[in-house]
Amino acid sequence: MSELFDRVDALIASRSPLPPPAERKRLRQAHGFTLDEVAEALQVRRATVSAWESGKTEPRPPERDAYARLLSKLAELYPADLNSAAPAEDTAVPETFANAPAPAAGTRPVSTGPVSEAAVMTTEQNTRPASTPESAPAAASRPARTARPSSTSRRPAARKAAPANTPAGTDPRFANGPLAVVDVDNDGQVLAYCVGGLVLDVPAKSIPALVDWTLREAKLGQPKLSGPGKDADPLIVLTEAALERYGLPVALTEEERLAGRLPEGHKVIKQLARADWKLTKRGFGPWARIYRPAQGSERNCVQLCIPSWNALDTRHWGDAGQLPPAELAQMLGTYASRVMTPRGSAAVTSLELMTAFHPPTRASEPDANGKRHSEHNPGSLGKDPVDPAPCEVPDGHPLLKDLPRFHRRTPAEKLFEEILDWARPLTDDECTKRYLVGIDVNMAFAAGANGLVVGLGEPTNVKNPVFDPKLPGSWLVDLSHVDLSRVKVGKEWVELDASLLPSPFTPTGERPTGPAWYETRTVAYAVELGYDVAPLEANVRYENGRYLDSWYNRLRDAYIDTMADLGVPADLPPQEFLKAMDGYKDRDPHLAIVVSAVKATVKGGLGKLRERPRGEGWKSGEPWRALSRPTWRPDIRAAVISRTRINMHRKIVKHAAYTGQYPVAILSDCVVYASEGPSPLDFLPYKDGKPLPGGWKLGVNPGLVKHEGTQTVLWAEEVRERFEAPELNLARYIKTGEVTNKDDGE
């Protein structure tokens, strides 16, 4: 009978009502749960929970039952505040206003009758929505695109509801979103444009007052990404008009640009000092952090972003710095919600994202007196930097200061895990084909980090070790005996034309000639190809873990979700995927900027793991600033690059063994093949719509490939003949076909 009751209870639970999507998100954030934590508990993907909260999809049994139970328990702990959404005085508010962010405490309600611009209220913190969006968003998570301001005024002329994607029921401390773009309209009013179309009046007359207003009244910021982490500080973006209003230059002088900051004697810096505000070591530059020492757990810190000082690098952010304030706020807000609030360049933000998921310390369990203490957070890199092995550091590092001057390290002295840059002449058979087709691996380095075990602590040097593919580190081993003309693919030995393949063991694709240092994944690939290895020495890390997993998951979901909003969802059939990718950036240029920034966040973060000296009077053998960071870890960078290169080579070998086709050129994550037709489908071996297992597969997910570009074989021969370079790397130019300088290709 009890079993029968259990089945009845399960049936009832399967029909339990679920709260609306916005309430689901509110309940999760109210308890401090991250998307990853909920996804792990329900044994689903993080993107699945995100889709439930955005209303894109609805949960199905059996996950639905557990999800409903979770939300029910959270609703008991955090009941919705039904009074907070009601206007304090004016009850004649249109229904559409219900989706707008709640005004900050102490603000007056906005009248809904016809109002001229001259009659707009200018109370200390009056909230206004920005101008009417051009079109409705295609999905709930897609940012609205606001109309450009007229030439007569930059103030919004009408009060409209915030877009439907405005975060609702979020942490009340951050009711107005993670950031604001501060601008001055033609009437001289200072306005803060927030995510979702909200506009706040800014009463501050100086930068110190602006910082104080941001922390006390603006309700800007973002909840932490992990349990022991910290909430994101509010971000204020200053337009050129705002810079002029607050006594800052619209552009830096050449000297200031090279220094990366304003001089210490600038009047604004003196104003901050008088108000007891401090600047970080990088000073008042394009990304300035202004703070006071934390009081207990309460942080007092504001991040400034100044686009006209090149804070938003055009290589990654396109023309974002030229966008109108409302559009810039929406675009940066999309990035913040999917990645995190920017903390500097894409590279700096990437490192901050790693640390946000794995803070160096956490609170201990209460001691005998009931007090908690700071302790090491397992799985993090700790709060103190560790020295890598000498073979893992770049030239000029203090560990190499005893080397003779101008000494050039050999492969037996230096770990050199880099991307492939390789090309070869076309064969006679390839010259008879019409096209060269390039394919590009999506988010290749992010895919290389997925599930990767990396070292967390310092290395241990071992002589004559037995190779262990589970131990991350560097190995001195001779791989010159690995012959690509006969390798194992799976469990079978296959014969290949080694002259048409790059070696996977060097960045140039040349076969190694003796012992050299390699990262664990490179040595493991030699074993996978069927060859024995006998390391002479190793620097291994017994303390290790999947440090980059959460970082990867966050960036993967940001990329996939944004591409879906651009009309390129996951799991499209190959032909439909190629069609969807054609011109996807033009569908929403703002979202295209977010995609570019997400990619830059991946690559920039990996580059920062081995950041080199940046001037500042550095001399070889002396430490530079980046070495003081626990996240200065060249061994982790080497591990990601090694795995990325090996993943590509594995697919190249699989493709060659199955089709007899070999790459003509490889550059980083781009591979070029000769083909009879101009499309990747003309040479990729799809059968009944399914790709070769373990080979190249078209798709938007990280690790899958897209069409990079197509040129004719005649173009390739003409270019190589013109530059007298039979091995010019055509992968560098396959996208546009433009070759401007011979040196660019070598």
The string of pLDDT tens digits covering residues 294-339 is: 776 677 999 999 999 999 999 999 999 999 999 999 999 999 999 9
Q: What share of the chain is helix, strand, coil (3-state, %, to 5)?
A: 35, 15, 50
Q: Which of 508, 537, 507, 504 is nearest to 521 (CA)?
A: 504
Q: What is the mean pLDDT of residues 234-252?
A: 97
Domains and CATH numbers, the chain: 2-77 (1.10.260.40), 101-109+117-343 (no CATH), 390-419+449-545 (no CATH)
Q: Measured between alpha carbons, how far is 703 from 441 in angstroms, rounded to an integer?
A: 6
Q: Report the pLDDT value the prediction gives residue 366, as an integer from 0 to 100.
A: 83
Q: How far is CA 478 from CA 17, 83, 307, in A?
A: 63, 72, 50
User: Which residues in 193-220 are b (16+ Cβ under 10 Å) and which e?
Assistant: bbbbbbbbbbebebbbebbbbbbebbbb
12 pLDDT tier (thresholds 50, 70, 90): low
Q: Report the pLDDT value the prediction gives residue 31, as an integer from 0 to 100.
A: 82
| Average of per-residue pLDDT values in the chain | 86
Q: What is the pLDDT of residues 393-429, one digit of tens each?
A: 999 999 999 999 889 999 999 999 999 999 999 999 9
Enumerate the β-bridge partners of residue 610: none
Q: How far is CA 193 from CA 131, 180, 185, 210, 541, in A?
A: 11, 5, 11, 14, 48
Q: Report the pLDDT value the prediction gives residue 153, as an integer from 0 to 100.
A: 36
Instruction: Dig out the tokens for 736 from the structure.
Output: 């546009």
Q: Measured between alpha carbons, how far is 292 from 227 in angstroms, rounded to an integer?
A: 24
Percent of the chain with pLDDT over 70: 85
Q: What is the 3-state secondary structure (H, E, C) of 393-426?
A: CCCCCHHHCCCCCCCCCCCCCCECCCCCEEECCC
* Cβ-contact 680, 699 below 8 angstroms: no
Sign of the Cα pseudo-torsion (611, 617, 623, 627, in order): negative
688 has pLDDT over 90? no
Q: Which of 324, 314, 345 is nearest to 181 (CA)?
A: 324
137 has pLDDT over 50? no
129 has pLDDT over 50? no
One-letter amino acid of 525: Y
Q: Measured between alpha carbons, how far is 147 from 131 in angstroms, rounded to an integer?
A: 6
477 has pLDDT over 60? yes
Is 108 or 512 the better-scoring residue by pLDDT? 512
Which of 122-126, 510-514, 646-650 is predicted least confidently? Answer: 122-126
Which of 65-69, 114-118, 322-326, 502-506 is predicted least confidently? Answer: 114-118
DSSP string, 537-590: EEEE-SSEE-TTHHHHHHHHHHHHHHHHHTT--TT--HHHHHHHHTTGGGG-HH
Q: What is the mean pLDDT of residues 220-232?
A: 91
659 has pLDDT over 80? yes
Where would I find the beta strands (DSSP E) of 466-524? 473-478, 486-489, 492-495, 515-519
Query: Backbone dihedral region of 462: left (phi > 0), alpha (psi from -120 to 50 degrees) or beta?
Result: beta
Enumerate the β-bridge partners of residue 539: 461, 474
Q: What is the reported pTM?
A: 0.78
Q: Report the pLDDT value the prediction gives residue 734, as an integer from 0 to 100.
A: 96
125 has pLDDT over 90? no
